[in-house]
Amino acid sequence: MLLVARSRGGGTGQVRTWPPATARCGEEGAMQDTHAQASSHIHITSKEKMLRKGMKATGLVVVVVGMCLAVATAALVSSRQSVVTSVPDVGSDHPCYNVGGDLPKDYEPSGLVWHAGLDRLYVISDEGSLGAFSRSGKLLDSWDLPASDLEGVTVDNPFNGSLLFLAQEYPPALLEYSLVANKLTGRVINVVDFPADAKSGMEGVTFNFNTGVLYAGSQYDGNVYAYSFDIPGGLLTPLFNITTPWDRDCSGLSFIHQRNQIFAVSDSHDQILIMTPEGDIVASTPVPGDGQEGLAYRVSNGGTDELFVANDDGKSDSTMWRYDYPIEAKCF
C-alpha cells in the first residue's frame, strides 16, 4: 500500500509517502517557541479518509470487547481511587518540581503515561520494570517484567483503560500489559515498516483513543510513524509518517486529549514539537534537562496543565520532573 502526501510551501513538518523512503529529512528549519503557529502548512492527501479508516477498522470489535472489559475496569478504577491519598494541586507555587526522589535504585525511566481514571503515572524502565507513581512522585507499586529494552508506554484509554502497551526498542514491538491482572498478557504485536536497527529503534509510543491511531517515534531517523491500531485483533496497519526537523532521536511521545495534540520530544535537541493528529507540526518549545525520554500530560484539579518529563541519564542520575505548562523560564 502506498500513501501519498504533499507539502504546500515547504517547511519542517512534512508527511511523506509510505513505506518510508531511505533518505533522511533535511536541515532543521527555524520554528518559533511556545504556541505560535509555524510558518509552514502541511496538507496530507486523504488524511481524514485514512483516520476514518483507522476508526472503522477498530470501532466495531472494540465496542464488543470494551463491553466485556468495562465491569473489570470500573471496579479497578473504583478500588484504586478509594485508596489514593489526595495531594493538593501545586500549581504555580512550584512550576518546576522534581518528582523523581522515590525512583527505585538504578531505575532508568524511559517512558511515561498518565492514567486519569486511576490517578497514576505509569513509568517504564528500559531494564524491564513498570512503576506506578502519584503526581507528587510517590512510588505506589512496581512490577518486574520478563522483558527488557523497553522505551515507551501508552494506555488504551486514559480514563477507564485496562491495558498498557509497552514499546520494545528492537525489534520494534508492543507488549500488552493488563492493569486488571497486573502482568503481561503474553501478546506481542510487531510494529511493521518501522525504521530501526539494534542500536536505534522505537523510543516512544502514544495512542489516540478517539481515532484508534497509534504513533511511534524513531530514534533511527527522528520521525514519527502513524498506524491504525486494531487492539482486539492485535494488528497495526501503516497510515502515514511525519518528518520532523530532527535527523534522529525522537525519544518520547504523548497524545494529549485535552488539546487534541501530540507532543514529541527529542533528548538530543532538548525540544518538544507540537503536532496535530493528522501530522501538522504547529509549534515547538524547549524543554529543560538532559536525556528527556518520556512525556505525560495532566490537567490538575485547579485547572493547571502539568507536563511530566522522564530524564534517563543512566542508572545513577536519572529522575523525573513535573512542570506547569507552558514551562516557565525559571525552570531552565
Question: In 3D, which of 253, 249, 150 has the Cα closest to residue 207?
Answer: 253
- Distance in angstroms (rounded) separating the CA atoms of residues 11 and 168: 31
Contact call for residues 192 and 185 (beta carbons, < 8 A): no
Cα four-point dihedral sign 153, 154, 156, 162: positive
CA 133/CA 205 separation, integer angstroms: 19
The pLDDT of residue 161: 98
Residue length of the chain: 332
Q: Which residues of the chain register pLDDT less than 70?
A: 1-92
Looking at residue 259, its pLDDT comes to 95
Given a contact cutoff of 8 angstroms between Cβ atoms, the answer to whether 176 and 168 are in contact is no
Neighbouring residues of 256: CB distance < 8 A, sequence distance ≥ 6? 262, 263, 297
114-145 per-position pLDDT tens digit: 999 999 999 999 989 999 999 999 999 999 99
Rounded Cα distance, 52 and 6, in Å: 19
* pLDDT of amino acid 61: 40
State residue 239's pLDDT score: 98
The confidence score (pLDDT) of residue 74 equals: 53
Alpha-helix residue ranges (DSSP H) falling in 280-325? none
Q: Is the bond preceding 171 in cis, omega lying within 30 degrees of 0?
A: yes
- Encode burial over 121-140: b for 16+ CB neighbours within 10 A, e otherwise: bbbbbbbebbbbbbbebeeb
Return d(Cα 117, Cα 113) in angstroms, integer.
Answer: 12
**Cell output for 254:** 504523548
The whole-angstrom distance between residue 166's C-alpha and the CA centroid of its chain comes to 10
Closest CA to 103 of 321, 323, 318: 318
Largest CA distance in the chain: 54
Give the C-alpha separation, 127 to 169, whole Å.
12
Residue 302 is predicted with a pLDDT of 81
So what's the pLDDT on residue 73? 52
With a CB cutoff of 8 Å and minimum separation 6, the contacts of 87 are: 134, 135, 136
State pLDDT tens for residues 149-170.
999 999 999 999 999 999 999 9
Q: What is the pLDDT of residue 40?
A: 34
Domains and CATH numbers, the chain: 6-22+31-82+97-331 (2.115.10)
